[in-house]
Structure formats: C-alpha cells, structure tokens
C-alpha cells in the first residue's frame, strides 16, 4: 500500500465532509419539495452562501480584498455555471420526467467521465485499481438508487417523447457535471480554493438576479417566510459549507477522487432517509452500500 501524503489524506477527509453536506441537505430539500420550487431553492442557497464564502475567503487569505488571476477567473466561473446552475437545473428537469430511479443512476455515473477527461486534458495517471473502483462505486450507487425508488412511482403523465427527452437530459447532466469538475480543477491551478470558491458563487449570484426578476413576472404564489427561512438556513450548509469543502478537496486530491467520494453519498443518505423520510430500505440497499464502500476504498487507497 502506498503511503498517504498529508495533503492527500486531508483532501480525502474534506471530500467526505463535502459528500455529507451535499447528502444531508438534499434530504431536507426533498422533504421541502412540496413547499418551495427548485428555482426558489437555487436562489436562496446561492445568495445566502455568498457571505459565508466571503467570510471564509477573508479568514484564509488574511485580507478583506483578494483577487485571483484573470486567466483563472473564466474557468472558475464557467465550472460554476455549467455544473451548479445548468447541470443541477437539468437534473431536476430530467428527474420530473423519468423519475429518480432512472435519472439519478445516469447522472451519478459522471465520475467515470471525470476520470476520462482528467486523463485526457490534465494528464492524470490512469491507475487500473482506481478504474475498477470507480466502476464499483457507480454500480453500488445505482443499486441503492434503484432499490430506494419504486419504479411504479415514476410520473406517468409524460408521453413517450417526454420520457425520451428526460433520458437525453440526464446524460447531458452527466456531461455537465463531469466537465464542470475538470474545468474547476484546471481553474484552481495556482489559485487558493477559498478565494476561487467566493468568485464562483459571486458570479452565479449575479447571473441569478435577472433570472429571479424575470420569474416574478406573473407569479401568483410565493413560499412562506418560514419555508424561505428554513431553505436559507439549509442553503448555508448546502452551498456555503459544501462548496468550500468541495473546492479544497479538488485542490488537494483532484476532480476524479473527489467526484467519486461525493457520488458515493447514497451509502450515507439511504439510512438517513429511513429515519427522516420514512423510506423503505431492503437488502439491495445494503449490498449496494457495501459495494460503494469497497469501491471508494479501492479509489482512495492504492496498493
């Protein structure tokens, strides 16, 4: 077994924290889905996380004013727009048309594409053990997702054309998320992760302002103050803490390992769903969880 460099070990721990932040907040958002729209969640979590990102960047840089190189700014912003704004939005669109049991496994295969793109464009070494581990992680996550979601619950009000579009969009989500991670890793070269994270969230927050104003046109219903407050509080963790952790993880261990660890989230969220959402868990979930754990270990520990 190869010894862990200290920075690598720290990066793995931070990636697991990012995975837990993403997974736990997604459970809360799922429970709130009847009270607040996807776009309202995107607005609140983005804007509420902006001051958190700034405070953290100031704390790590030691200055209230900080910059990133101009040549790094474009890939940092591009990764945010492609991954978080476009990718997440398309995922929710796909999920509504083909159900979680189909959309989630397709989208969560994105780490395999991350590995390919990182090898092609960033010179990341292709390690056979890690490749096998990546396939095992994706297989385990797919097994958990399909076991958790009853196929009969797939929304049947969409026609065949809508279902086909949903599948196509799910594959586009895969491409968006993978491209975003690799572009983000490229943008982080020579840039501190906390500062990079702030500029990414700042750019996305500004882009969402005209989108939000346009959405108000003709709008008749609004979430309650209690719902918005709760969504804002969750948003601090969902993007404020999780994206900070994600940025540091990619900086220390790269997009491939980070994406695989984050994608393994269902092995933790499945048990939480039983407690918080009263969802059923069967032996396929347990087997999928074991597969995911084995795959993650193969990815992060190279013998």
Sorted by where each begins, the domain ranges of the chain are 6-300
pLDDT of residue 2: 52
Q: What is the pTM of this model?
A: 0.85
pLDDT of residue 133: 94
pLDDT of residue 289: 82
The region that residue 123 occupies, defined by phi over 0 for left and psi between -120 and 50 for alpha, beta otherwise, is left
pLDDT of residue 272: 63
DSSP sequence for 256-290: HHHHHHHHTTHHHHHHHHHHHS-----HHHHHHHH
C-alpha–C-alpha distance, residues 226 and 36, integer Å: 11
pLDDT tens by residue, the chain, 303 residues: 455 577 899 999 999 999 988 877 776 776 676 677 777 877 888 898 999 999 999 999 999 989 899 999 999 999 999 998 899 888 878 877 776 667 777 888 899 999 999 999 999 999 999 999 999 999 988 887 766 555 444 445 556 777 788 889 989 999 999 999 999 999 999 999 999 999 999 999 999 999 888 888 877 677 777 778 877 777 787 778 899 999 999 999 999 999 999 988 877 766 666 555 555 556 777 788 888 889 998 999 876
pLDDT of residue 100: 65
**Contact at 8 Å (CB) between 111 and 138?**
yes
The region that residue 190 occupies, defined by phi over 0 for left and psi between -120 and 50 for alpha, beta otherwise, is left
The gap from C-alpha 219 to its chain's centroid, in whole angstroms, comes to 29
pLDDT of residue 250: 96
């Amino acid at each position: 077994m190869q010894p862990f460099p200290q920075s690598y070990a720290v990066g793995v721990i931070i990636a697991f924290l990012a995975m837990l932040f993403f997974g736990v907040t997604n459970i809360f958002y799922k429970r709130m889905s009847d009270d607040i729209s996807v776009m309202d969640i995107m607005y609140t979590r983005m804007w509420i996380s902006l001051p958190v990102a700034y405070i953290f960047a100031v704390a790590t840089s030691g200055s209230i004013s900080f910059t990133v190189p101009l040549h790094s700014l474009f890939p940092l912003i591009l990764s945010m727009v492609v991954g978080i704004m476009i990718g997440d939005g398309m995922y929710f669109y796909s999920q509504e048309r083909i159900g979680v049991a189909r959309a989630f496994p397709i989208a969560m295969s994105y780490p395999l594409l991350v590995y390919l793109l990182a090898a092609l464009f960033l010179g990341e070494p292709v390690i056979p053990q890690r490749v096998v581990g990546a396939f095992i992680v994706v297989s385990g996550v797919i097994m958990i997702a399909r076991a958790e979601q009853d196929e009969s619950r797939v929304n049947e009000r969409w026609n065949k054309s809508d279902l086909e579009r949903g599948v196509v969009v799910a594959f586009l989500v895969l491409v968006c998320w993978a491209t975003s991670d690799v572009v983000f890793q490229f943008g982080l070269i020579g840039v501190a992760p906390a500062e990079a994270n702030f500029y990414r969230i700042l750019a996305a927050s500004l882009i969402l302002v005209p989108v939000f104003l346009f959405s108000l046109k003709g709008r008749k219903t609004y979430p309650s103050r209690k719902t918005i407050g709760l969504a804002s509080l969750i948003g601090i963790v969902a993007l404020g803490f999780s994206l900070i952790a994600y940025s540091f993880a990619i900086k220390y261990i790269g997009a491939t390992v980070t994406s695989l660890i984050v994608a393994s989230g269902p092995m933790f969220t499945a048990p939480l769903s039983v407690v918080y959402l009263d969802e059923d868990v069967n032996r396929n979930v347990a087997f999928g969880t074991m597969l995911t754990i084995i795959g993650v270990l193969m990815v992060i520990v190279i013998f």
